[in-house]
Structure 1
């Protein structure tokens, strides 16, 4: 049985990892071209040059990550440079930022890799003895970087799928899948999409490819039932992209009753398209920003898997500063090829067998505005 109180196992786990990160720090002592210098702090020794490279500087998730890194720079005596692509999909913007970090003589890079198109630039950085940590998006292959701090995106998607299947209560599922890209392969994209399908109890074909599963069949999650996948449309992780993608899906089939979205801006755009068409559907998503949690409370999003970008940035910053001063390298979570920073499903509609927290509890640990 799932409970939505501060006493749930899921919430206690989330709180525990947050406290663990804070304890580790206590024990330890945007656009391209913009930078902020961390003041001398508990890090000790000479300042360490670190570049944080996000996918863009407007998505609330990456804005929160940037703010967290800037706040932690002083604690670790880090000279921080913040850079990003111009928008989702801008491989070249990230490549340029990596090259700039090498030329500047930085000790390390924190990056949310856009796609495998930046892998060769990351290799150049590591060949130049920079320690490279991926945040949020594990690269493919995982050993492209030294380590990744990220949400288990497969599990995030599965939580969404399990919840959705339970809510359908055996009714047919007419599904729209609003992904990130259609022209790039990114682990966060296929892991959330495929995880959602697995949570629904729908067989996937290639676990690293979106859109190749059977378009009709039976889902086995919850009470089970028939499913139809109407579309896989890319929304680029943005609200306007989500709206356009949802409009395309509705044009194919106006009877969609379940919408998976790669993130919460996409979900908001999808909801706008549904409202304009006088339609309603269950919407599930991933992120858990404060705005997204608010969308759960208002009923726009049925459930969202909350992740923790501030923790990713904090742990990454601390790791590079420690390594640059001769400390030990961080280790991956047992059984995984990355360090799992945790996930909790936020919803106000209970589903038996699915751990979650309420929107009120999610609001206490959310990020962004």
Structure 2
């Protein structure tokens, strides 16, 4: 496992170098927009200085967020703004994200595009930012609407994908191939994150449609490779007859696949979510059956664009859903 993590760390270094040089490709299809604009928009800026937009993400150790930065950089170039990119050390670095937002409030940025590590814990500090006149755009993981309303955080546009449907498509791909009694497990993300809950529900729906499938466990690995490796080992010790796995992101799938490879368990079908390049390589090799492309670059591109539109006093959609794409061996090279 240590060698696998070291090799994967080297891959991340390469991805980060490439992301600094590359440009995001155009999305495969356009987003679905809920046509209800925010009720209030701040007045257009009266300064000649270009607006400063901050993109706050969970981490750059996951290549998904490297792709997200690419989309934001594309918007920066097209719109002539100043983009500040800040991230936590890990996807679980919630307190670090809170500290980052406090710093951005002090820096008086014009807008914050936030991909929150937690759907609830960041709401109070985001309310502080909104009270300071900073435009907020929520991408990727939805902020909890009830807590937002109770704390007075209002009219924060949301850009993401239908996480429940994406996970459903991923798990359905193997569910449709199962014709005899089979045990399945689900590896979840951070349980306090809305997107993690939605993906779990989507996988449960897909597995539940096949009477031959019994979901014997739902465990969190907090989006991480190393935790997924350990959790997968524990699950297979408890349930050695598992033949199907849904992992709520590719990183957890990498940890699960490494464990399965070491145990020579070639009889287990695994699907995932994010369509990272290494996940595509696993699909080509036949180790991973499917993953979901949620167009990370497009989400961030729209987030920055909408932020600038709001700064300029324009109405923007309350919710925008970017299409998800199922990636299998049939279309992995498209």
Please indicate, yes or no, whether the TM-score normalized by the shorter chain is above 0.5: yes
Q: Distance in 1 between matches of 2:79 and 2:260?
A: 47
Pairing partner for 1:165 from 152, 155, 175 = 175
SS of residue matched to 1:199:
helix
SS of residue matched to 1:286:
coil
Please tell me whether the aligned partners of residues 29 and 323 of structure 2 are also in contact (alpha carbons under 8 angstroms): no
Relative to structure 1, is the Cα distance of residues 73 and 172 closer, same or farther in structure 2, using a 3 angstrom cutoff? same
Q: Could you tell me which residue of structure 1 aligns to residue 42 of structure 2?
A: none
Which residues of 2 match residues 38-117 of structure 1 at below 5 A?
46-115=49-118, 116-117=120-121
Which residues of 2 match residues 171-320 of structure 1 at below 5 A?
171-181=180-190, 184-200=191-207, 202=208, 220-221=209-210, 224-225=211-212, 227-280=213-266, 281-320=268-307
Relative to structure 1, is the Cα distance of residues 238 and 288 closer, same or farther in structure 2, using a 3 angstrom cutoff? same
Q: Could you tell me which residue of structure 2 aligns to residue 146 of structure 1?
A: 156
CA RMSD of aligned residues (A): 2.1
Pairing partner for 1:129 from 127, 133, 141 = 133
TM-score by length of 1: 0.73
Q: Distance in 1 between matches of 2:325 and 2:256?
A: 23
SS of residue matched to 2:222:
coil
Asked if 1:343 corresponds to 2:328, the answer is no
TM-score by length of 2: 0.81
Q: Distance in 2 between matches of 1:121 and 1:309?
A: 25
Of the structure 1 ranges 142-151 and 303-312, higher mean CA displacement relative to structure 2 is found in 142-151
- 1:173-200 CA-to-partner distances (Å, cap 9, x unmatched) read 211211113xx41111110011111122
Q: Distance in 2 between matches of 1:228 and 1:88?
A: 30
Q: Could you tell me which residue of structure 2 aligns to residue 119 of structure 1?
A: 123
Structure 1: 4+ residue segments shifted above 6 A = none
Q: Distance in 2 between matches of 1:236 and 1:165?
A: 24
Report the CA distance between 1:70 and its aligned residue: 2.5
Report the count of equivalent residues.
Answer: 287
Q: Distance in 2 between matches of 1:327 and 1:109?
A: 16
User: Relative contact order: is structure 1 or structure 2 higher (C-alpha 8 Å, sep ≥ 6)?
Assistant: 2
- 1:75-123 CA-to-partner distances (Å, cap 9, x unmatched) read 2122111111111211111111111111111111111111111111111
Report the CA distance between 1:232 and its aligned residue: 2.2
SS of residue matched to 1:75:
helix
Q: Distance in 2 between matches of 1:245 and 1:146?
A: 36
Report the CA distance between 1:45 and its aligned residue: 5.0
Q: Distance in 1 between matches of 2:285 and 2:145?
A: 39
Give ranges in structure 2 of 5+ residues lacking alignment: 1-26, 34-46
Q: Could you tell me which residue of structure 2 aligns to residue 37 of structure 1?
A: none
Q: Distance in 2 between matches of 1:247 and 1:258?
A: 14
